[in-house]
């Protein structure tokens, strides 16, 4: 029995494993309810008196070393399993493009409006959100005393000359007419800004779509 215990102790010290399954099989073989260690402890009473001290010490050492070996190997193998082996991976392969998220409801509605007008021959025109006085007011016949020119209604970036955040997308139509000749069929979707109190029903900016249709007379 003493020689068998020493043999198992050396086997435990030398044991190596490549998989968690191999470690578990080793644990069951040595530390399981019907394992080698259990059998050796059962034989302890049959060992000669002069060998009991050495035999007991080896059994305790065997149990301790076996438990340490099992825990160390399981920890090592589980850590290495978390890293994939990319040595044979083809990095030139195309990726799987998974669509994440969805479009904002405002974008969905805007695109639907654009699609409807495209079907009847309208093009989309865009312009700057920071506008000069001419395109935002004067070209649209806003008189100097018009309330929209006051600071309580409009966000002014600069004064004299006046530069504002556009209050409507009509300024885009002015730019289109300056650079095009009839027939003109265009819509101008975009954000516009008004100096208003923010509440559940209103905000200082909102979205607008304006249409312009000019034909030869």
Cα–Cα distances (Å) from 169 to 101, 148, 207, in that order, read 29, 14, 9
- pTM of the full predicted structure? 0.51
Question: Any bridge partners for residue 186, and if so which?
Answer: 123, 212
| In the chain, where the domains are located | 2-81, 105-214
Greater pLDDT, 15 or 127: 127
Buried b / exposed e across 186-200, counting CB within 10 Å, b at 16+? bbbbbebbbeeeeee
Predicted pLDDT of residue 81: 56
Q: What is the mean pLDDT of the chain?
A: 85
Q: Model confidence over 14-73: pLDDT tens digits?
A: 888 888 888 888 888 888 888 887 887 777 677 777 777 887 787 788 888 888 888 888
How far does the chain reach from its first CA to its final CA, in angstroms? 116
CATH of domain 105-214: 3.30.930.10
Greater pLDDT, 4 or 183: 183
Q: Do 155 and 165 contact (CB within 8 A), yes or no?
A: yes
Predicted pLDDT of residue 217: 62
Q: Do 192 and 208 contact (CB within 8 A), yes or no?
A: yes
Beta strands in the chain, from DSSP E residues, in sequence order: 123-124, 130-132, 156-158, 163-165, 184-193, 205-214
Greater pLDDT, 192 or 63: 192
pLDDT of 133 over the 80 cut: yes
């Amino acid at each position: 029995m003493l020689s068998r215990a020493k043999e198992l102790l050396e086997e435990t010290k030398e044991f190596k494993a490549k998989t968690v399954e191999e470690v578990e099989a080793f644990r069951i073989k040595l530390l399981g309810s019907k394992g080698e260690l259990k059998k050796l402890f059962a034989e302890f009473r049959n060992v000669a008196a002069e060998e009991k001290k050495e035999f007991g010490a080896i059994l305790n050492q065997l149990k301790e070393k076996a438990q340490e070996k099992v825990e160390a190997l399981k920890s090592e193998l589980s850590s290495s399993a978390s890293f994939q082996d990319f040595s044979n991976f083809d990095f030139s392969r195309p990726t799987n493009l998974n669509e994440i998220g969805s479009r904002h409801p405002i974008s969905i509605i805007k695109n639907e409006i654009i699609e409807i007008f495209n079907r009847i021959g309208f093009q989309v025109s865009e312009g700057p959100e920071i506008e000069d006085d001419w395109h935002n007011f004067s070209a649209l016949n806003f008189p100097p005393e018009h309330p929209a020119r006051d600071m309580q209604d409009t966000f002014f970036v600069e004064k004299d000359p006046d530069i504002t955040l556009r209050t409507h997308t009509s300024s885009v139509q002015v730019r289109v007419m300056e650079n095009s000749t009839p027939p003109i069929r265009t819509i101008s979707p975009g954000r516009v800004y008004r100096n208003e109190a923010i509440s559940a029903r209103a905000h200082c900016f909102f979205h607008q779509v304006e249409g312009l249709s000019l034909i030869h007379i």
